[in-house]
Homo-oligomer: A and B are copies of this chain.
Amino acid sequence: MSVTVLRLGHRIFRDQRITAHCCLVARAFGADSFVYTGQKDGNLEKTVSSTAERWGGRFRIGYADDWKTVLKEWKGKMVHLTVYGIPVVKEIGTIRKQKNLLIIIGGEKVPSEIYQFADWNLSVTSQPHSEVAALAVFLDRYFEGRWPGTFKGAKLKIVPQERGKKVEKIK
């Protein structure tokens, strides 16, 4: 089973924090890896890899020159999250049966071919908001609210508190 997120058209200056949030959301909600196109961004990759190293798991981030190659080589179904798509809730039951899933999230301009290549074009709310939120809610529905929690090999672990902060180092 493999769930990968493909982020299109990353721009270093404008998108750095949004793309970083998308990466961390992908990881926290159970995706295995993240691929992005657009401008190659060493700082983004470093931030995400260092978070993944401290907090555990096998999440990987990678860069691709060309989204077409990613789509052609993908062995499994493809979901494109877009405000113009049909409601996620209508299709999530069918999609949940797919073990290998590529989730495509847009940048500023999504090539029109993406709408054709994708097996599903899906919207979360049909209102303008955020690819970070769309990805989180999609993954939450796909995994039926089962969040990974602590990851294998983590060096740090949060101990949930009613008030205040507690982080444990794991030896």
Instruction: State the Cβ distance, A82 to closest chain B Cβ, in Å.
Output: 8
Q: Does A160 contact B (CB under 8 A)?
A: yes
- Interface stretch, picked from A35-43, A65-73, A97-105, A115-123, is A115-123
Contact mask for chain A residues 142-171; partner B; CB cutoff 8 A; 1 contact, 0 none: 000101111100000010111111110000
The interface on chain A, measured as residues whose beta carbon lies within 8 A of the other chain's beta carbons, has a size of 53
Q: Decide: A29 near B160, CB < 8 A? Known: A130-B24, A132-B21, A140-B137.
A: no
- Tell me, yes or no, whether A125 is within 8 Å of chain B by CB: yes
Report the Cα distance A28→B21, complex, angstroms: 19
- List A residues at the B interface (Cβ < 8 Å): 14, 17-18, 21-22, 24-25, 27-29, 51, 55, 82-87, 89, 112, 115-116, 120-121, 123-130, 132-133, 135-137, 140, 145, 147-151, 158, 160-167
6 shortest A-B CB distances, which residue pairs?
A133-B136, A21-B130, A28-B127, A24-B129, A132-B132, A28-B129
